[in-house]
Amino acid sequence: DEPLWNPDELPVPTKFPRILRLEKSGPDDTVDTTSLLRSLEPVCFLDPEQKDEYRNRRILFSRLASAIPSFRNNRHD
């Protein structure tokens, strides 16, 4: 079974009976999307100076895991 929210999220009721809002229960770990996207460019787009990174799955998962805490908890082999 896959959980509906991450361990660091807390479901909070809304004015609608069947809709919950998820709030972070721990420290606010926001992702710097600009830096993340910049670090993913050589993985997603061929750059002759960084050709070893192009489409490299391990580098992709490593960079995503370093930027997104919930991504670290999942195994991506």
Domain span at residue 20 reads 9-72
CA distances from 35 to 12, 40, 41, 53, 71 (A): 31, 9, 10, 16, 17
Does this model's pTM top 0.85? My answer is: no
CA dihedral 44, 9, 6, 68 (to 10 degrees): 20
Tell me, what DSSP letter sits at residue 9?
Answer: E
Confirm whether 77 is domain-assigned: no
Q: Are 73 and 9 in contact (CB under 8 A)?
A: no
Count of domains for the chain: 1
pLDDT of residue 74: 67
Q: Is residue 1 part of a domain?
A: no
Q: Above 70 in pLDDT, residue 27?
A: no
Type of residue found at 50 = Q
pLDDT score recorded for residue 46: 96
Give strand pairing partners of 10.
Answer: 23
Give 4's contacts (C-beta < 8 A, 6+ positions apart).
Answer: 11
